[in-house]
Amino acid sequence: MPDTPYLVAVITIVFAVTLALRAVPFAILRPLRASETVRQLSAWMPVGILAILAVTALHGAVAAEPHTAPYALLAVAVTAGVHLACGRRSILSVGIGTAVYVVLVNAF
């Protein structure tokens, strides 16, 4: 069992690193709010991340069972349509698109 001073030193270092890692983003946030780059990133990053996730998920589904490709494409179209038609409600559109895919794969 390590000595008490050693444990106190480890806990102090862990506390300092954790506090610094959580405080630094807030400390640099104020000057970055006026940045055009950050504004552009905040608009395009969510779209890019979702696109990467969608392509990865579709690739995995189609690679596992190639006959489901038309069902996956139809589910993507339904998801996009619901998303645009229902006021860009992500949970609703993803839920309905997923349900369409599951029904199509299990019914046919």
Do 72 and 105 share a domain, yes or no? yes
Q: Structural domain tally of the chain? A: 2
**Of 39, 101, 47, 48, the residue nearest 72 (C-alpha):** 101
Look at residue 7 in the predicted model and tell me its pLDDT. Answer: 95
Q: What residue numbers bound the domain in which 23 lies?
A: 1-34
Do 61 and 24 share a domain, yes or no? no
pLDDT range class, residue 59, cuts 50, 70, 90: very high
- pLDDT of 17-56, one tens digit each? 999 999 988 888 888 888 888 888 888 898 889 889 889 9
How far apart are the C-alpha atoms of 16 and 89, rounded to whole Å?
A: 40
Do 26 and 59 share a domain, yes or no? no
Do 64 and 15 share a domain, yes or no? no
- pLDDT of 72-90, one tens digit each? 999 999 999 999 999 888 8
Helices 69-85 and 90-107 sit at what angle, rounded to 10 degrees? Answer: 150
Do 59 and 90 share a domain, yes or no? yes
How far apart are the C-alpha atoms of 75 and 55, rounded to whole Å?
A: 13
Residue 70 pLDDT > 90? yes
pTM score: 0.59
Do 89 and 58 share a domain, yes or no? yes
